[in-house]
Chain A
Amino acid sequence: MMLGRVQVPQSVKRGEAFEVRVIVQHPMETGFRRDLQGQAIPVNIVDKLACTYGGREVFRAELGTGIAANPYIAFYVVARESGPIEIAWSDDRGQEGRASALVDVA
């Protein structure tokens, strides 16, 4: 399971857009780097990331090799009810990762 973290504000007002920040530990190998023997290091990137909240997907990203290693993404979500913000991601080798944080909606 890949390591990743998600951060949301401690509490938000209903109807307000709040920032969700995600960081995932991943080398985002481009496939263009070569090792000391001159062999190309195979491509390996996190290519999909999605956020689910209140029972539905509220954000989705498709990432390419042009995203920096240990990908960081921040986006906004409208506060509806208190509950978990769930992030799920996967890489091009089928490895998956999940992280979640509870958001308290006043």
Chain B
Amino acid sequence: MNRRRFIAASASGLAAAALPARAQRFQPPQDVAPLIEQITGGVAPTTGGITVKLPQLAENGNSVPLQLAVASPMTVEDHVEALYVIAPRNPRPLVATFHLSPDAGRAEIATRVRLAGTQKVVAIARLSGNRFLVNETEVLVTSAACLDESM
């Protein structure tokens, strides 16, 4: 092996050791039906009713802004009890759970999530009276043009 190839091979070996998980090929989406079923306790969720605000294209999967809203009177009789965020391509698909009550006044949260590649983000709302809403939103996630492992 000539010197140039040896150096290139060593350099790439070193770079591989330093690669963060996201720089490798992202895993395909997992089947999250069992997770959803666990959340709803087997109750079939109604599609819709959750407004999900996510960018169409996320330049960096490390930080993607997400907003969830459910039009709910948030009274004792009728309110959103919890909001769940599921990312099927993430190594741990359940991203977060937000617990609400009539004290919230509005069923609306905002946060920033990590997305391991292009995928359909699933939002679930648990309403009082054991009712469930579900919504899927596709986000295109790209990687950096020049990956940076310098410090």
Contact = CB atoms under 8 A, between A and B. Distances in A.
Establish whether A and B are touching in the complex (CB under 8 Å). Answer: yes
A37 B19 CA distance: 10
Contacts of B19: 34
Interface stretch (B43-51, B111-119, B130-138): B111-119
A69 interface: yes
A68 interface: yes
A59 B99 CA distance: 6
B91 interface: yes
User: Dominant SS at the A interface?
Assistant: strand
A14 to B, nearest CB: 11
Given A64-B94, A66-B95, A68-B113, A76 B108 contact: yes
A74 B111 contact: yes
A78 interface: yes
Contact of A72 (B18, B85, B94, B111): B111
Name the interface size band of chain B. Answer: 35 or more
Contacts of B97: 61-62
Given A62-B96, A66-B92, A66-B114, A73 B104 contact: no
Tier of interface size on chain A: 20 to 34
B10 interface: no
Contacts of A94: none
A17 B105 contact: yes
Contacts of A62: 96-97, 99
B108 A75 contact: yes
B96 A69 contact: no
A33 B20 contact: yes
B110 interface: yes
Contacts of A76: 104-106, 108
Contact of A68 (B74, B94, B112): B112
A105 interface: no
A72 B112 contact: yes
Contacts of B112: 67-68, 71-72
B32 interface: no
Contact of B111 (A53, A59, A67): A67
Interface of B: 14, 17-21, 62-64, 74, 85, 87, 90-106, 108-115, 149
